[in-house]
Chains A and B, each alone.
Chain A
Amino acid sequence: MNFQLTDEQAGLRRLVRDFVDKEIKPIAAHTDESGEFPWDTLRKLGGLGLLGLNIPEAYGGAGADHLSAAILIEEIGRGCGSTGLIVAAHLGLACGPLNAFGNEAQKQRFLEPLASGRAIGCLALTEPGAGSDLAGGVRTFAELRGGEWVINGSKMWLTNGAEAETAILLCRTDRTGGSRSLSQIIAPTNTPGITFGKPERKMGLNGSHTYAVSLEDVRVPAENLLGEEGCGLQQTLEVLDGGRIGIGALSVGLAQAAYEAAMSYAQERITFGAPLTRHQAIQFKIADMATQIDAARLLVWRAAWLRDQGQPYTLEAAQAKLFATEMAEKVCYEAIQIHGGYGYSRDYPVERIYRDNRLMAIGEGTSEIQRLVIARRVLGL
Chain B
Amino acid sequence: MNIVVCVKQTPDTAELPKISVAEVTSGDIKTTLVLNPWDEFAVEEGLQLQDRFGGDVTVVTVGEEKATEALKDAIARGVQSAVLLSDPAFAGSDAWGTATILAAAIKKNGPVDVVLAGKQSVDGNSGLVAPGLARKLGATLLTNVTKIVDVAGGKITVERQLEEGRETLTASLPAVVSVSKEINDPRYPTFMGIRKASKAQIPVWSLADLDVSAGSVGQTAALAQWTDLRKPAARSSQVVLVKEATVEATAAKLADLLMAEKVI
Give A residues with C-beta under 8 Å from B: 6-8, 11-12, 15, 18-19, 47-50, 53, 62, 64
**A47: nearest residue on chain B (CB-CB)?**
B190
**Which residues of A are found within 8 Å of B198, using beta-carbon distances?**
6-8, 11
**Which residues of A are found within 8 Å of B191, using beta-carbon distances?**
12, 15, 48-50, 53, 62, 64
B189 interface hit (Cβ, 8 Å): yes
* Residue from A15, A50, A62 with most neighbouring chain B CB atoms (10 Å): A15
Chain B stretch 185-202: residues in CB contact (< 8 A) with chain A:
188-192, 194-195, 197-198
Cβ–Cβ contact B188 & A11, under 8 A: no
Docked CA distance A53–B72 (Å): 20
Cβ–Cβ contact A15 & B195, under 8 A: no
Could you show 24 A-B contacts with beta carbons less than 8 Å apart? A7-B197, A8-B194, A8-B198, A11-B76, A11-B189, A11-B194, A11-B198, A12-B191, A12-B194, A15-B188, A15-B189, A15-B191, A47-B190, A48-B188, A48-B189, A48-B190, A48-B191, A49-B190, A49-B191, A53-B191, A62-B191, A62-B192, A62-B195, A64-B191
Docked CA distance A49–B189 (Å): 10
Docked CA distance A269–B197 (Å): 42
**Which residues of B are found within 8 Å of A15, using beta-carbon distances?**
76, 188-189, 191, 194
Docked CA distance A253–B188 (Å): 21
CB distance from A241 to the nearest CB of B (A): 24
Docked CA distance A18–B194 (Å): 14
**A61: nearest residue on chain B (CB-CB)?**
B191
Give the bracket for the number of chain B residues in contact with chain A.
10 to 19
**Which residues of A are found within 8 Å of B192, using beta-carbon distances?**
49, 62
**Which residues of A are found within 8 Å of B190, using beta-carbon distances?**
47-49
Chain B stretch 179-216: residues in CB contact (< 8 A) with chain A:
188-192, 194-195, 197-198
The proximity string for B residues 161-190 relative to A, scoring 1 for CB distances below 8 Å and 0 otherwise, is 000000000000000000000000000111
Docked CA distance A124–B250 (Å): 57
Docked CA distance A50–B188 (Å): 12
Docked CA distance A149–B161 (Å): 66
**Which residues of B are found within 8 Å of A18, using beta-carbon distances?**
188
Cβ–Cβ contact A19 & B194, under 8 A: no
**Which residues of A are found within 8 Å of B194, using beta-carbon distances?**
8, 11-12, 15
**A11: nearest residue on chain B (CB-CB)?**
B194
CB distance from A22 to the nearest CB of B (A): 9
**Which residues of B are found within 8 Å of A12, using beta-carbon distances?**
191, 194
* Residue from A8, A11, A50, A62 with most neighbouring chain B CB atoms (10 Å): A11
**Which residues of B are found within 8 Å of A6, using beta-carbon distances?**
198
**B191: nearest residue on chain A (CB-CB)?**
A49
CB distance from B39 to the nearest CB of A (A): 15
The 3 closest A-B pairs by CB, nearest first: A7-B198, A11-B194, A49-B191
* Residue from B188, B191, B195 with most neighbouring chain A CB atoms (10 Å): B191
Docked CA distance A8–B188 (Å): 15
**B194: nearest residue on chain A (CB-CB)?**
A11
**Which residues of B are found within 8 Å of A53, using beta-carbon distances?**
191
**A52: nearest residue on chain B (CB-CB)?**
B191
CB distance from A376 to the nearest CB of B (A): 37
**A23: nearest residue on chain B (CB-CB)?**
B188
Docked CA distance A50–B189 (Å): 11
CB distance from A158 to the nearest CB of B (A): 28
**Which residues of A are found within 8 Å of B72, using beta-carbon distances?**
7, 11
**Which residues of A are found within 8 Å of B195, using beta-carbon distances?**
8, 62, 64
CB distance from A45 to the nearest CB of B (A): 10
